[in-house]
Chain A
Amino acid sequence: MFHRFANPTRFLKLAAIVQPWAAGATLLFLAGGLYYGLIDSPADYQQSETVRIMYVHVPAAWMAMFCYTALAISAGVGLIWKHPLADLAAKATAPIGAAFTFLALLTGSLWGKPMWGTWWVWDARLTSVLILFFMYLGYMALQNAFDDPARGTKASSILALVGFVNVPIIKFSVDWWNTLHQPASVVKMGGPAIHPSMLTPLLLMALAFKAYYIWVLLMRIRGEVNAGKIRALRLRQVHGTAPKMAEEVANG
């Protein structure tokens, strides 16, 4: 089952079927999330209207960690089993994860200013997420730092695996260290400590972001498969035309 999708042609066929569904789900969940988030949900009794930033900030932060986990797993599968699509999935995931991490940092800053009185603090949660952002950038830079794409993939996959140590640190940073950032209130023992009127837009936006990830991921994998074919064709052209050129030269 695993290796059936190692065939890019078969994968692209499946991707072409899934992609419109992912696009539809993104738009549908986004419409619902924005309606409940901006219009049909109450202001918080302490944070008043700024609580609405939560509906984009928290899902973006979840996606930042989810994408890095997906990146590390794909990189590991590519490294160990030489699964070509796993490498492409890792490569395609990185810019999406970097975008969500950037958004988590930016929207967090815009929420921090009115509620904490500061745009930024160097505490464990914020700093470890900033490091996550740099891990994404480092992965992408290393991937493209070699003339031979296979070497770039190998080096960046190792970096992705080593960097995974940061993900549990981010998750538990609010419990291990004193921080301005509040601890988990959705995924916790004894159920979510958040009212359904606020949980609804939060989960809808989280689903929208997840569907967006699938949508853009499939697009980018298709692009990467194409880029690989272009490289192979170019190589074949170089080798294929060389004897012909020699023939032309020989015939004057």
Chain B
Amino acid sequence: MAEFLEMGGYGAFIWPAYGAVTLVLLGLWIASRRFVATTEAELTNLNPRHTGDKDEA
């Protein structure tokens, strides 16, 4: 396991690269989910007939 984490002495470069990808993609996903949730809530507030997926057409 320690050998795996060490990555032939290059762990200090490889793990931050994978860590940054995880953080950025997860962060953007969370922000996008929140964007949808807050706008859905606001729509329901403004217009109680709004039901998300089954939109008033």
Contact = CB atoms under 8 A, between A and B. Distances in A.
- A and B, one complex? yes
Contacts of A9: 55, 57
Interface residues of A, number: 39
Interface of A: 9, 12-13, 16, 38, 43, 48-50, 52-53, 56-57, 60, 95-96, 99, 102-103, 106-107, 110-111, 113-114, 212, 215-216, 219-220, 222-223, 226-227, 229-230, 233-234, 237
Contacts of A107: 17, 20-21
A239 to B, nearest CB: 14
Interface of B: 7-10, 13-14, 16-18, 20-21, 24-25, 28-29, 32-33, 35-36, 39-40, 42-43, 46-47, 50, 53, 55, 57
A49 B28 contact: no
A53 B43 contact: no
Given A99-B25, A219-B36, A226 B43 contact: yes
Nearest to B55: A9
Contacts, number: 89
Main DSSP-derived SS at the B contact region = helix
B39 to A, nearest CB: 3
Given A9-B55, A212-B25, A223-B39, 9 more contacts: A49-B14, A52-B14, A60-B21, A96-B28, A107-B17, A107-B21, A212-B29, A216-B28, A233-B43
A contacts with B: majority SS: helix
Contacts of A102: 24
A216 B13 contact: no
Nearest to B46: A233
Nearest to A95: B28
Contacts of B7: 49, 52
Contacts of A220: 32, 35-36
Given A56-B21, A99-B28, A230-B42, A223 B36 contact: yes
